[in-house]
Amino acid sequence: MKSTIPEPTLRRLSYYLRYLERFKEKGLNIISSKELSIALGLSDAQVRRDLFTLGGFGKRGVGYDVSKLFNFLNTFLGLDNLQSIILVGCGNLGKALLQYKGFKKRKFIITHAFDNDKRLIGKKIAGINIQDSKEMQREIRKHKIIYGIIATPASSAQGVVNSMIDYGIKAVLNFAPIKIHVSQGIVISSVDLTTELEWLSFHVHHGT
Amino acid sequence: MKSTIPEPTLRRLSYYLRYLERFKEKGLNIISSKELSIALGLSDAQVRRDLFTLGGFGKRGVGYDVSKLFNFLNTFLGLDNLQSIILVGCGNLGKALLQYKGFKKRKFIITHAFDNDKRLIGKKIAGINIQDSKEMQREIRKHKIIYGIIATPASSAQGVVNSMIDYGIKAVLNFAPIKIHVSQGIVISSVDLTTELEWLSFHVHHGT
Protein backbone atom coordinates (compact mmCIF):
# COMPACT_ATOMS: atom_id res chain seq x y z
CA MET A 1 0.00 0.00 0.00
CA LYS A 2 1.46 3.30 -1.13
CA SER A 3 1.23 5.99 1.52
CA THR A 4 -0.72 9.18 0.95
CA ILE A 5 -0.22 10.46 4.49
CA PRO A 6 1.57 13.83 4.53
CA GLU A 7 5.07 13.65 6.03
CA PRO A 8 4.37 16.00 8.98
CA THR A 9 1.32 13.93 9.96
CA LEU A 10 3.39 10.77 9.71
CA ARG A 11 6.04 12.20 12.01
CA ARG A 12 3.34 13.13 14.51
CA LEU A 13 1.97 9.58 14.59
CA SER A 14 5.03 8.47 16.55
CA TYR A 15 4.15 11.04 19.17
CA TYR A 16 0.52 9.95 19.30
CA LEU A 17 1.72 6.40 19.79
CA ARG A 18 4.00 7.42 22.62
CA TYR A 19 1.29 9.33 24.50
CA LEU A 20 -1.32 6.66 23.93
CA GLU A 21 1.08 4.18 25.46
CA ARG A 22 1.40 6.37 28.55
CA PHE A 23 -2.37 6.78 28.80
CA LYS A 24 -2.69 2.99 28.60
CA GLU A 25 -0.13 2.55 31.36
CA LYS A 26 -2.12 4.97 33.49
CA GLY A 27 -5.23 2.85 32.95
CA LEU A 28 -7.08 5.38 30.79
CA ASN A 29 -9.54 3.79 28.36
CA ILE A 30 -10.96 6.80 26.57
CA ILE A 31 -9.23 10.03 25.58
CA SER A 32 -10.70 13.16 24.04
CA SER A 33 -9.08 15.00 21.14
CA LYS A 34 -8.74 17.91 23.54
CA GLU A 35 -6.71 15.86 26.04
CA LEU A 36 -4.54 14.50 23.23
CA SER A 37 -4.01 17.99 21.83
CA ILE A 38 -2.94 19.40 25.21
CA ALA A 39 -0.49 16.55 25.79
CA LEU A 40 1.00 16.91 22.31
CA GLY A 41 0.96 20.70 22.15
CA LEU A 42 -1.20 20.71 19.02
CA SER A 43 -4.54 22.32 18.32
CA ASP A 44 -7.69 20.33 18.93
CA ALA A 45 -8.59 20.69 15.24
CA GLN A 46 -5.17 19.36 14.19
CA VAL A 47 -5.60 16.20 16.27
CA ARG A 48 -9.05 15.58 14.84
CA ARG A 49 -7.76 16.15 11.32
CA ASP A 50 -4.79 13.79 11.83
CA LEU A 51 -6.96 11.00 13.16
CA PHE A 52 -9.58 11.58 10.50
CA THR A 53 -6.84 11.10 7.86
CA LEU A 54 -6.23 7.65 9.33
CA GLY A 55 -9.82 6.59 8.85
CA GLY A 56 -11.92 8.47 11.37
CA PHE A 57 -11.55 7.19 14.88
CA GLY A 58 -13.61 8.28 17.86
CA LYS A 59 -17.21 9.27 18.33
CA ARG A 60 -18.42 12.83 18.67
CA GLY A 61 -18.67 13.69 22.36
CA VAL A 62 -17.23 10.32 23.39
CA GLY A 63 -13.57 10.43 22.42
CA TYR A 64 -11.08 7.84 21.28
CA ASP A 65 -10.62 4.30 22.51
CA VAL A 66 -7.01 4.38 23.76
CA SER A 67 -6.17 0.69 23.18
CA LYS A 68 -7.87 0.54 19.79
CA LEU A 69 -6.09 3.64 18.53
CA PHE A 70 -2.77 2.47 19.97
CA ASN A 71 -3.06 -0.92 18.28
CA PHE A 72 -4.11 0.63 15.00
CA LEU A 73 -1.14 3.03 14.95
CA ASN A 74 1.23 0.27 15.98
CA THR A 75 0.18 -1.86 13.02
CA PHE A 76 0.01 1.12 10.70
CA LEU A 77 3.65 2.01 11.46
CA GLY A 78 4.69 -1.61 10.97
CA LEU A 79 5.65 -2.12 14.62
CA ASP A 80 3.77 -5.34 15.33
CA ASN A 81 6.75 -7.64 15.02
CA LEU A 82 10.24 -7.54 16.39
CA GLN A 83 12.63 -5.89 13.92
CA SER A 84 16.31 -6.70 13.77
CA ILE A 85 18.83 -3.98 13.05
CA ILE A 86 22.51 -4.15 12.19
CA LEU A 87 24.80 -1.39 13.35
CA VAL A 88 28.02 -0.54 11.53
CA GLY A 89 30.64 1.59 13.24
CA CYS A 90 31.26 0.97 16.94
CA GLY A 91 33.03 4.16 18.00
CA ASN A 92 31.62 6.34 20.79
CA LEU A 93 28.31 6.97 19.11
CA GLY A 94 27.94 3.36 17.92
CA LYS A 95 28.66 2.06 21.42
CA ALA A 96 26.07 4.41 22.88
CA LEU A 97 23.48 3.24 20.38
CA LEU A 98 24.17 -0.37 21.32
CA GLN A 99 23.43 0.53 24.92
CA TYR A 100 20.44 2.73 24.16
CA LYS A 101 17.33 1.11 25.59
CA GLY A 102 14.76 3.29 23.86
CA PHE A 103 14.68 1.28 20.63
CA LYS A 104 13.54 -1.90 22.31
CA LYS A 105 10.31 -0.42 23.54
CA ARG A 106 9.25 -0.07 19.90
CA LYS A 107 10.40 -3.62 19.11
CA PHE A 108 13.57 -2.54 17.34
CA ILE A 109 16.58 -4.56 18.43
CA ILE A 110 20.16 -4.16 17.33
CA THR A 111 21.13 -7.80 16.85
CA HIS A 112 24.47 -7.40 15.06
CA ALA A 113 27.28 -4.86 15.28
CA PHE A 114 30.23 -4.50 12.93
CA ASP A 115 33.47 -2.61 12.76
CA ASN A 116 36.73 -3.01 10.87
CA ASP A 117 38.91 -1.90 13.78
CA LYS A 118 40.82 -4.95 15.07
CA ARG A 119 40.80 -3.43 18.58
CA LEU A 120 37.00 -3.49 18.67
CA ILE A 121 36.25 -6.80 16.94
CA GLY A 122 35.39 -9.49 19.48
CA LYS A 123 34.42 -7.01 22.18
CA LYS A 124 30.95 -7.25 23.71
CA ILE A 125 28.79 -4.16 24.24
CA ALA A 126 25.39 -4.55 25.94
CA GLY A 127 25.51 -8.26 25.15
CA ILE A 128 26.25 -7.79 21.47
CA ASN A 129 29.44 -9.13 19.98
CA ILE A 130 31.24 -6.69 17.64
CA GLN A 131 32.01 -8.61 14.46
CA ASP A 132 34.40 -7.95 11.60
CA SER A 133 32.69 -5.91 8.86
CA LYS A 134 33.57 -8.74 6.49
CA GLU A 135 30.87 -10.82 8.20
CA MET A 136 28.19 -8.26 7.35
CA GLN A 137 27.11 -9.85 4.06
CA ARG A 138 26.71 -13.32 5.58
CA GLU A 139 24.74 -12.08 8.62
CA ILE A 140 22.38 -9.78 6.71
CA ARG A 141 21.52 -12.54 4.24
CA LYS A 142 21.27 -15.31 6.83
CA HIS A 143 18.91 -13.36 9.09
CA LYS A 144 17.17 -11.43 6.28
CA ILE A 145 17.77 -8.14 8.09
CA ILE A 146 16.42 -5.01 6.40
CA TYR A 147 17.31 -2.25 8.90
CA GLY A 148 20.77 -0.77 9.20
CA ILE A 149 22.25 1.97 11.37
CA ILE A 150 25.44 3.63 10.22
CA ALA A 151 27.69 5.34 12.75
CA THR A 152 31.02 5.27 10.89
CA PRO A 153 33.15 8.33 10.11
CA ALA A 154 31.90 10.44 7.19
CA SER A 155 34.68 9.27 4.89
CA SER A 156 33.61 5.62 4.85
CA ALA A 157 29.83 6.01 5.28
CA GLN A 158 28.75 6.01 1.63
CA GLY A 159 30.79 2.89 0.83
CA VAL A 160 29.36 1.02 3.83
CA VAL A 161 25.80 2.01 2.93
CA ASN A 162 26.33 0.81 -0.66
CA SER A 163 27.46 -2.58 0.67
CA MET A 164 24.58 -2.79 3.18
CA ILE A 165 22.09 -2.22 0.39
CA ASP A 166 23.79 -4.74 -1.90
CA TYR A 167 23.40 -7.32 0.85
CA GLY A 168 19.70 -6.63 1.41
CA ILE A 169 19.23 -3.65 3.73
CA LYS A 170 16.15 -1.60 2.78
CA ALA A 171 16.12 1.14 5.43
CA VAL A 172 19.08 3.08 6.77
CA LEU A 173 19.39 5.37 9.77
CA ASN A 174 22.47 7.49 9.15
CA PHE A 175 24.48 9.15 11.92
CA ALA A 176 27.53 9.96 9.80
CA PRO A 177 27.80 13.72 9.17
CA ILE A 178 27.51 13.41 5.40
CA LYS A 179 24.79 13.31 2.78
CA ILE A 180 24.25 9.67 1.77
CA HIS A 181 22.89 8.80 -1.66
CA VAL A 182 20.65 5.75 -2.02
CA SER A 183 18.83 4.27 -4.98
CA GLN A 184 15.07 4.34 -5.31
CA GLY A 185 13.17 1.95 -3.10
CA ILE A 186 15.60 2.41 -0.22
CA VAL A 187 14.58 4.63 2.69
CA ILE A 188 17.09 6.69 4.55
CA SER A 189 16.84 9.05 7.48
CA SER A 190 19.77 11.08 8.75
CA VAL A 191 20.43 12.32 12.25
CA ASP A 192 23.17 14.90 12.25
CA LEU A 193 23.85 16.22 15.72
CA THR A 194 26.08 19.07 14.67
CA THR A 195 23.62 20.29 12.06
CA GLU A 196 21.03 20.54 14.82
CA LEU A 197 23.37 22.69 16.89
CA GLU A 198 24.14 24.89 13.89
CA TRP A 199 20.44 25.34 13.31
CA LEU A 200 20.00 26.43 16.94
CA SER A 201 22.97 28.77 16.61
CA PHE A 202 21.50 30.44 13.57
CA HIS A 203 18.18 31.04 15.31
CA VAL A 204 19.87 32.34 18.45
CA HIS A 205 21.83 34.82 16.31
CA HIS A 206 19.00 35.90 14.02
CA GLY A 207 16.01 35.74 16.39
CA THR A 208 13.44 32.98 16.20
CA MET B 1 18.26 40.48 12.16
CA LYS B 2 15.13 38.44 11.62
CA SER B 3 15.68 35.49 9.29
CA THR B 4 13.77 35.21 6.04
CA ILE B 5 15.66 32.13 4.87
CA PRO B 6 13.32 29.19 4.30
CA GLU B 7 13.87 26.35 6.81
CA PRO B 8 14.94 23.72 4.23
CA THR B 9 17.56 26.11 2.80
CA LEU B 10 18.81 26.81 6.29
CA ARG B 11 19.18 23.10 7.01
CA ARG B 12 21.16 22.71 3.79
CA LEU B 13 23.61 25.46 4.76
CA SER B 14 25.17 23.13 7.34
CA TYR B 15 25.87 20.69 4.54
CA TYR B 16 27.36 23.36 2.31
CA LEU B 17 29.60 24.37 5.18
CA ARG B 18 30.74 20.79 5.71
CA TYR B 19 31.61 20.22 2.07
CA LEU B 20 33.29 23.60 1.72
CA GLU B 21 35.45 22.67 4.68
CA ARG B 22 36.48 19.45 2.94
CA PHE B 23 37.23 21.30 -0.29
CA LYS B 24 39.37 23.73 1.70
CA GLU B 25 41.24 20.86 3.31
CA LYS B 26 41.91 19.44 -0.14
CA GLY B 27 43.35 22.78 -1.20
CA LEU B 28 40.57 23.69 -3.65
CA ASN B 29 40.13 27.45 -4.08
CA ILE B 30 37.24 27.65 -6.52
CA ILE B 31 34.21 25.39 -6.79
CA SER B 32 31.46 25.40 -9.41
CA SER B 33 27.80 25.11 -8.52
CA LYS B 34 27.84 21.86 -10.52
CA GLU B 35 30.59 20.38 -8.33
CA LEU B 36 28.77 21.49 -5.19
CA SER B 37 25.50 20.06 -6.48
CA ILE B 38 27.09 16.66 -7.22
CA ALA B 39 28.71 16.48 -3.79
CA LEU B 40 25.47 17.42 -2.02
CA GLY B 41 23.13 15.41 -4.22
CA LEU B 42 21.13 18.51 -5.18
CA SER B 43 20.31 19.97 -8.57
CA ASP B 44 22.62 22.58 -10.03
CA ALA B 45 19.71 25.06 -10.08
CA GLN B 46 18.99 24.41 -6.39
CA VAL B 47 22.56 25.22 -5.39
CA ARG B 48 22.54 28.43 -7.40
CA ARG B 49 19.17 29.40 -5.90
CA ASP B 50 20.36 28.69 -2.33
CA LEU B 51 23.50 30.76 -2.73
CA PHE B 52 21.63 33.51 -4.48
CA THR B 53 19.29 33.71 -1.45
CA LEU B 54 22.35 34.43 0.67
CA GLY B 55 23.30 37.43 -1.40
CA GLY B 56 24.62 36.13 -4.72
CA PHE B 57 28.03 34.59 -4.50
CA GLY B 58 30.12 33.45 -7.44
CA LYS B 59 30.61 34.72 -10.93
CA ARG B 60 29.02 33.24 -14.01
CA GLY B 61 31.44 30.74 -15.55
CA VAL B 62 33.96 31.20 -12.74
CA GLY B 63 32.37 29.56 -9.70
CA TYR B 64 32.55 30.22 -5.99
CA ASP B 65 35.51 31.21 -3.87
CA VAL B 66 35.68 28.31 -1.37
CA SER B 67 37.24 30.23 1.53
CA LYS B 68 35.04 33.27 1.09
CA LEU B 69 31.86 31.24 0.97
CA PHE B 70 33.00 29.11 3.92
CA ASN B 71 33.75 32.18 6.04
CA PHE B 72 30.49 33.82 5.09
CA LEU B 73 28.42 30.76 6.03
CA ASN B 74 30.37 30.31 9.23
CA THR B 75 29.55 33.85 10.35
CA PHE B 76 26.01 33.63 9.02
CA LEU B 77 25.32 30.56 11.17
CA GLY B 78 26.86 32.25 14.20
CA LEU B 79 29.79 29.85 14.40
CA ASP B 80 32.64 32.34 14.64
CA ASN B 81 33.13 32.04 18.36
CA LEU B 82 33.42 29.13 20.72
CA GLN B 83 30.02 28.24 22.18
CA SER B 84 29.60 26.60 25.55
CA ILE B 85 26.90 24.01 26.09
CA ILE B 86 25.57 22.43 29.24
CA LEU B 87 24.36 18.85 29.16
CA VAL B 88 21.78 17.53 31.60
CA GLY B 89 21.28 13.79 32.01
CA CYS B 90 24.40 11.62 31.99
CA GLY B 91 22.97 8.18 31.27
CA ASN B 92 24.14 6.17 28.25
CA LEU B 93 23.16 8.76 25.71
CA GLY B 94 24.44 11.67 27.77
CA LYS B 95 27.78 9.94 28.27
CA ALA B 96 28.08 9.30 24.56
CA LEU B 97 27.36 12.95 23.80
CA LEU B 98 30.09 14.00 26.24
CA GLN B 99 32.52 11.83 24.30
CA TYR B 100 31.26 12.82 20.86
CA LYS B 101 33.97 14.75 19.06
CA GLY B 102 31.86 16.06 16.18
CA PHE B 103 30.56 19.11 18.04
CA LYS B 104 33.99 20.56 18.65
CA LYS B 105 34.75 20.96 14.95
CA ARG B 106 31.94 23.54 14.79
CA LYS B 107 33.17 25.27 17.94
CA PHE B 108 30.50 23.83 20.18
CA ILE B 109 31.91 22.54 23.44
CA ILE B 110 30.07 20.84 26.24
CA THR B 111 31.63 22.55 29.23
CA HIS B 112 29.30 21.40 32.02
CA ALA B 113 27.39 18.21 32.67
CA PHE B 114 24.73 17.62 35.31
CA ASP B 115 22.80 14.73 36.77
CA ASN B 116 20.88 14.12 39.98
CA ASP B 117 22.04 10.53 40.36
CA LYS B 118 24.45 10.32 43.31
CA ARG B 119 26.30 7.45 41.60
CA LEU B 120 27.18 9.70 38.65
CA ILE B 121 27.94 12.98 40.40
CA GLY B 122 31.70 13.52 40.70
CA LYS B 123 32.56 11.13 37.87
CA LYS B 124 34.59 12.44 34.97
CA ILE B 125 33.63 11.69 31.35
CA ALA B 126 35.90 12.92 28.56
CA GLY B 127 37.45 15.38 30.97
CA ILE B 128 34.15 16.83 32.14
CA ASN B 129 33.11 16.54 35.76
CA ILE B 130 29.49 15.49 36.28
CA GLN B 131 27.97 17.96 38.74
CA ASP B 132 24.88 17.84 40.88
CA SER B 133 21.88 19.31 39.01
CA LYS B 134 21.52 21.73 41.91
CA GLU B 135 24.65 23.49 40.61
CA MET B 136 23.03 24.17 37.24
CA GLN B 137 21.64 27.60 38.08
CA ARG B 138 24.96 28.87 39.43
CA GLU B 139 27.01 27.60 36.48
CA ILE B 140 24.66 28.82 33.74
CA ARG B 141 24.54 32.31 35.27
CA LYS B 142 28.24 32.49 36.07
CA HIS B 143 29.36 31.50 32.57
CA LYS B 144 26.39 33.07 30.73
CA ILE B 145 25.73 29.84 28.86
CA ILE B 146 22.84 29.89 26.38
CA TYR B 147 22.97 26.37 24.87
CA GLY B 148 21.60 23.31 26.65
CA ILE B 149 21.36 19.66 25.69
CA ILE B 150 18.81 17.51 27.47
CA ALA B 151 19.31 13.76 27.64
CA THR B 152 17.22 12.90 30.70
CA PRO B 153 14.36 10.38 30.76
CA ALA B 154 11.10 11.63 29.24
CA SER B 155 9.41 11.99 32.61
CA SER B 156 11.76 14.68 33.92
CA ALA B 157 12.66 16.45 30.65
CA GLN B 158 10.04 19.21 30.67
CA GLY B 159 10.83 20.20 34.25
CA VAL B 160 14.56 20.35 33.54
CA VAL B 161 14.03 22.43 30.39
CA ASN B 162 11.84 24.86 32.35
CA SER B 163 14.64 25.32 34.89
CA MET B 164 17.32 25.70 32.20
CA ILE B 165 15.33 28.46 30.56
CA ASP B 166 14.67 30.17 33.89
CA TYR B 167 18.43 30.26 34.47
CA GLY B 168 19.23 31.75 31.04
CA ILE B 169 19.39 29.00 28.39
CA LYS B 170 18.07 30.25 25.01
CA ALA B 171 18.51 27.20 22.77
CA VAL B 172 17.78 23.57 23.64
CA LEU B 173 18.70 20.38 21.85
CA ASN B 174 16.33 17.74 23.16
CA PHE B 175 17.09 14.01 23.11
CA ALA B 176 14.31 12.99 25.52
CA PRO B 177 11.54 11.10 23.69
CA ILE B 178 8.86 13.62 24.52
CA LYS B 179 7.43 16.81 23.10
CA ILE B 180 8.91 19.76 25.00
CA HIS B 181 7.05 23.04 25.25
CA VAL B 182 9.03 26.27 25.37
CA SER B 183 7.99 29.90 25.49
CA GLN B 184 8.47 32.30 22.61
CA GLY B 185 12.00 33.46 22.01
CA ILE B 186 13.48 30.09 22.97
CA VAL B 187 14.63 27.76 20.18
CA ILE B 188 14.35 24.03 20.52
CA SER B 189 15.26 21.16 18.25
CA SER B 190 14.44 17.56 19.06
CA VAL B 191 16.29 14.45 18.04
CA ASP B 192 14.18 11.39 18.66
CA LEU B 193 15.98 8.24 17.62
CA THR B 194 12.99 5.94 17.96
CA THR B 195 10.76 8.22 15.92
CA GLU B 196 13.32 8.02 13.12
CA LEU B 197 13.15 4.21 13.20
CA GLU B 198 9.35 4.29 13.22
CA TRP B 199 9.41 6.54 10.20
CA LEU B 200 11.69 4.09 8.39
CA SER B 201 9.44 1.21 9.42
CA PHE B 202 6.39 2.94 8.02
CA HIS B 203 8.08 3.54 4.68
CA VAL B 204 9.39 -0.01 4.51
CA HIS B 205 5.87 -1.32 5.09
CA HIS B 206 4.03 1.09 2.80
CA GLY B 207 6.57 1.54 0.01
CA THR B 208 8.58 4.70 -0.35
Q: Verify that B97 and B163 share a domain, yes or no.
A: yes
Alpha-carbon span A189 to B123, nearest angstrom: 34
A3 with B77: Cβ contact below 8 A:
no
DSSP for residue A120: T
Phi, psi of B24 (to 5 degrees): -60, -45
Q: Verify that A126 and A166 share a domain, yes or no.
A: yes
Q: Verify that B91 and B165 share a domain, yes or no.
A: yes
- Nearest CA distance, B104 vs chain A (angstrom): 9
Can you name the residues that pair with B176 across neighbouring β-strands? none
pLDDT at A130 over 90: yes
pLDDT at residue B173, as a whole number: 94
Nearest by CB: B173 against A108, A171, A196: A196
The CATH number of the domain where B26 resides is what?
1.10.10.10
Q: What is the pLDDT of residues A99-117, one digit of tens each?
A: 877 777 778 899 999 999 9
pLDDT at residue B198, as a whole number: 84
The low-confidence residues of chain B, meaning pLDDT below 70, are 1-3, 56-61, 208
Residue A201 lies in a domain: no
Is the pLDDT higher at A96 or at A129? A129
Percent of chain A having pLDDT more than 90? Answer: 38
Average pLDDT over residues A16-21: 87
Q: Verify that A34 and A136 share a domain, yes or no.
A: no
Residue A204 lies in a domain: no
The CATH number of the domain where A177 resides is what?
3.40.50.720
- Of A76, A96, A130, the last residue of a domain is A76
B76 with A202: Cβ contact below 8 A:
yes
Residue A207 lies in a domain: no
Q: Average model confidence (pLDDT) for chain A?
A: 87
- Of A76, A103, A131, the last residue of a domain is A76
Residue A66 lies in a domain: yes
Average pLDDT over residues A119-145: 96
Residue B205 lies in a domain: no
Q: Which of A14, A11, A32, A31 is CA-nearest to residue A23? A: A31
Please give the residue of chain A at the shortest CA–CA distance from B201. A78
Rg (CA), chain A: 20
Please give the residue of chain A at the shortest CA–CA distance from B94. A96
Q: What is the pLDDT of residues A77-107, one digit of tens each?
A: 888 888 899 999 998 788 878 887 777 777 8
Average pLDDT over residues A38-59: 80
Q: Verify that A136 and A166 share a domain, yes or no.
A: yes
pLDDT at residue A56, as a whole number: 65
Q: What are the Cα distances from residue A14, in Å, to A18, A75, A106, B14, B189?
A: 6, 12, 10, 27, 16
pLDDT at residue B109, as a whole number: 92
What pLDDT band is residue A57 in, cutting at 50, 70 and 90?
low
Q: Verify that B190 and B96 share a domain, yes or no.
A: yes
Residue A92 lies in a domain: yes
Q: Verify that B93 and B145 share a domain, yes or no.
A: yes
- Nearest CA distance, B132 vs chain A (angstrom): 22
The interface predicted TM-score of the complex, written ipTM, equals: 0.77
Q: What is the pLDDT of residues A166-178, one digit of tens each?
A: 999 999 999 887 8
Alpha-carbon span B131 to A163, nearest angstrom: 43
Q: Verify that B46 and B31 share a domain, yes or no.
A: yes
- Nearest CA distance, B80 vs chain A (angstrom): 10
Residue A93 lies in a domain: yes
Assess contact for B199 and B206: CB atoms under 8 A.
no
A208 with B184: Cβ contact below 8 A:
yes
pLDDT at residue B1, as a whole number: 44
Residue B69 lies in a domain: yes
Count of domains observed in chain B: 2
- Of B35, B61, B76, the last residue of a domain is B76
SS3 A40: helix
Q: Verify that A90 and A70 share a domain, yes or no.
A: no
pLDDT at residue B19, as a whole number: 86
Q: What is the pTM of this model?
A: 0.74
Nearest by CB: A102 against B2, B100, B177: B177
How buried is B182 (Cβ within 10 angstroms: 0-12 exposed, 13-18 middle, 19+ buried)? buried
Residues of B in contact with A78 (CB under 8 A): 201-202, 204-206
Strand segments, DSSP code E, in chain A are 30-31, 64-65, 83-88, 108-115, 124-125, 128-132, 147-150, 171-174, 187-190
- Nearest CA distance, B42 vs chain A (angstrom): 10
Nearest by CB: A92 against B3, B77, B100: B100
B202 with A3: Cβ contact below 8 A:
yes
Q: Which domain holds residue A54?
A: 7-76
Average pLDDT over residues A58-70: 81
Q: Verify that A27 and A116 share a domain, yes or no.
A: no
Q: Verify that B133 and B98 share a domain, yes or no.
A: yes
- Nearest CA distance, B61 vs chain A (angstrom): 26
Q: Verify that A96 and A182 share a domain, yes or no.
A: yes
B177 with A204: Cβ contact below 8 A:
no
Assess contact for A177 and A158: CB atoms under 8 A.
no
